Amino acid sequence: MRISRFPSIVDDVTVRLIAAVVLVLGVVALAAHQWWVYAVLAADFVLRSGWGPSASPIARLVNRWVRPKVSAKPRYTAGPPKRFAAAIGAVFTTAATILWLAGTSVPVVLIGVVMVVFPALESIAGVCVGCIVFGWLMRLGVIPESVCLDCADITRRAAQRQASATAG
Residue 13, CA distances (Å) to 72, 133, 140 in order: 7, 20, 29
Angle at 99 between CA 94 and CA 103, to 5 degrees: 145
- State how far the alpha carbon of 77 is from the alpha carbons of 70, 89, 106, 150, 163, in Å: 18, 19, 36, 9, 16
Q: Rounded distance, CA 114 to CA 120, Å? A: 10
With a cut of 90, say whether residue 139 has pLDDT above it: yes
Q: Show me where the domains of the chain are located.
A: 9-128
The yes-or-no verdict on residue 138 having pLDDT over 80 is yes
Residue 152 confidence (pLDDT) above 80: no
Beta partners for residue 26, in sequence order: none
Look at the pTM and tell me if it is higher than 0.75: yes
Tell me the three state secondary structure of residue 78.
strand
Average pLDDT over residues 113-140: 97
CB 118 within 8 A of CB 129: yes
Specify the pLDDT at position 156: 61
Alpha carbons 67 and 106: distance in angstroms, whole number: 36
| β-bridge mates for residue 10, sequence order | 77
Instruction: Tell me 143's DSSP state.
Output: S
> Which pLDDT belongs to residue 1?
43
